[in-house]
Amino acid sequence: MKRVILFGWLAIVPAVVGAQGVTLDSCRSWARSHYPLVEQYGLVAQSAEYSVVNASRAWLPQVRLSAQATWQTDAARFPDAMNTMLAALGTDLEGIRQDQYKLALDV
C-alpha cells in the first residue's frame, strides 16, 4: 500500500510542478521570502560559529586508538615438502597463526 501511495506522489508532483511553471527566478524569490524564517532559528550564525571554532582547533594534535582481534578458521600453511626441507636446515616455521591481534595508536 505504501508503494502505491509513494508512486502516486511521484507521478503527481512533477505534473503539478510542471503546470505551475517553476523558474529559477521564482525559486530565488521563494528563498528570499523564506529567509527570515531560517534566520529565526539562528542557523546561519550557528554554522558560521562552528566553522570558526573548528578552524581554531585544527592545529591541535589528534589521538586515535584502535584495536582489532581476528580468528581465521583456515590459515595459510607451508606445504609439507617445504616444511621437511626447512626442518632439514634447522628452521621450524609454522606459517600464519589462526589468531591475529592488532593495536594502533595514531597521533
pLDDT in tens, 47-92: 777 777 777 777 788 899 999 999 888 777 778 888 788 888 887 7
Contact by Cβ (8 Å): 72, 100: yes
CA distance 97 to 73: 10
Q: Which three cell numbers stand for residue 7?
A: 508512486
Q: How many CB atoms lie within 10 A of CB 62?
A: 8
Q: What is the pTM of this model?
A: 0.34
Domain borders along the chain are 21-60, 64-106
Q: Is the dihedral of CA 12, 13, 14, 18 positive or negative?
A: positive
Of the chain, the end-to-end C-alpha distance in Å amounts to 53
